[in-house]
């Protein structure tokens, strides 16, 4: 009779261990797969990140916002000309160079509007190049290694059924947390790109303000915002690199539950740090 009970206990223990290992492998693979895609995603510019989106945004913006930008530029150029006339005593102190200066400023402002999308893409070409170069230096894998999993299984096999049962329930509960983290990582990466698309779509308006000294701060802050969100990708890669080092330094101990909660803690830290990259980048570039 004892042999039967022992056989049943061994069978149950084997199935519980298989279930725990399957669950953990799936959890790690889901989060790690999402993290592994980050390097490629943040190194991709808005023109190619999602097929068809950038041409749609550009054509819509050129149709809806470019005329408004032209009106703003016309007002600014007229205002600048009036200021020049008034400043020189209604042309009593006439100097030819002031009109040449006005023509050059207006020409530059017109060129800035008509080529605003080329300028914005040039900014992102620079930031994505920096990000891709940084990504090549992140060599540590974010995966929990097969050796670590084998050590974990060996530890489980040394435990009794009574010890494994609550651990199985705990690992099942942790699954929800890992799934949420996986979703948040996706939201952060794609949310950043949606923000980039929204910024790019408004390009004609801030670029139309460069012709006036008093209003040019709008365009300057816009460029700083582009640089901030572009270099946010670089900060995201730094965060992923730190996370990879932390994951590789995990030590599987006899306290398996504690180890799993530690891994979850690293993932929560990853998510928190990803959220902070946007704020930090804007602070560095003084973007409002």
Single pTM value for the model: 0.80
CA distance readout (Å), 54 to 49, 73, 133, 288: 9, 25, 24, 24
Q: Is the pLDDT of residue 91 over 60?
A: no
Instruction: Determine the pLDDT at residue 105.
Output: 81
Least confident of 16-30, 100-114, 151-165, 204-218: 16-30
CA distance readout (Å), 202 to 65, 154, 219: 7, 58, 11
Euclidean distance between CA atoms 245 and 241, whole angstroms: 6
SS3 211: coil
Question: Mean pLDDT, to the nearest integer, of 212-220?
Answer: 82
Question: Mean pLDDT, to the nearest integer, of 18-43?
Answer: 72
Instruction: Determine the pLDDT at residue 107.
Output: 85
Q: What is the dihedral of CA 133, 136, 142, 148, to 10 degrees?
A: -160
- Write the DSSP symbol of residue 249: T
Instruction: Determine the pLDDT at residue 186.
Output: 85
Q: Are 15 and 217 in contact (CB under 8 A)?
A: no
pLDDT band at 7 (very low <50, low <70, confident <90, very high): low
Euclidean distance between CA atoms 217 and 184, whole angstroms: 34
- Sequence-separated (6 or more) residues with CB below 8 Å from residue 227: 123, 127, 285, 287
Instruction: Determine the pLDDT at residue 270.
Output: 85
Instruction: Determine the pLDDT at residue 245.
Output: 78
Q: Is the pLDDT of residue 101 over 80?
A: no
Euclidean distance between CA atoms 212 and 109, whole angstroms: 9
- Sequence-separated (6 or more) residues with CB below 8 Å from residue 226: 120, 123, 124, 199
- Sequence-separated (6 or more) residues with CB below 8 Å from residue 34: 182, 185, 186
Which one is predicted more confidently, 222 or 260?
222
Euclidean distance between CA atoms 191 and 184, whole angstroms: 10
Least confident of 88-92, 203-207, 256-260: 88-92
Within the chain, how many helices (H) and strands (E) appear?
12, 0
Question: Could you please report the per-residue DSSP string of 95-133?
Answer: -HHHHHHHHHHHHHHHHHHHTHHHHHHHHHHHHHHHHHH
Residue with tokens 């009036």: 82
pLDDT band at 79 (very low <50, low <70, confident <90, very high): confident
């Amino acid at each position: 009779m004892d042999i039967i009970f022992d056989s049943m206990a061994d069978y149950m223990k084997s199935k519980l261990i298989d279930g725990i290992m399957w669950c953990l492998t799936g959890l790690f693979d889901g989060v790690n797969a999402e993290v592994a895609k980050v390097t490629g995603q943040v190194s991709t510019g808005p023109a190619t990140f999602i097929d068809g989106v950038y041409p749609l945004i550009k054509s819509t913006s050129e149709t809806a916002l470019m005329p408004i930008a032209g009106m703003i530029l016309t007002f600014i150029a007229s205002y600048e000309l009036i200021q020049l006339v008034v400043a020189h005593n209604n042309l009593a102190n006439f100097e030819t160079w002031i009109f040449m200066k006005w023509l050059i400023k207006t020409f530059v402002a017109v060129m800035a509007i008509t080529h605003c999308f080329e300028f914005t893409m040039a900014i992102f070409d620079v930031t994505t190049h920096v990000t891709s170069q940084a990504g090549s230096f992140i060599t540590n894998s974010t995966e929990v290694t097969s050796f670590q999993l084998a050590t974990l299984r060996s530890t489980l096999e040394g435990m009794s059924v009574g010890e494994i049962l609550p651990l199985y329930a705990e690992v099942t509960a942790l699954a929800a947390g890992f799934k949420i983290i996986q979703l948040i990582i996706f939201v952060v990466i794609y949310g950043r790109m949606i923000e980039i698309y929204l910024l790019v779509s408004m390009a004609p308006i801030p670029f139309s303000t460069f012709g006036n000294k008093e209003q040019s701060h709008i365009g300057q802050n816009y460029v700083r915002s582009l640089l901030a969100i572009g270099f946010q990708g670089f900060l995201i890669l730094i965060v992923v690199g730190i996370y990879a080092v932390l994951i590789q330094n995990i030590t599987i101990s006899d306290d398996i539950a504690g180890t799993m909660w530690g891994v979850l803690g690293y993932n929560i830290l990853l998510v928190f740090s990803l959220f902070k990259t946007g704020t930090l980048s804007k602070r560095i570039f003084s973007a409002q």
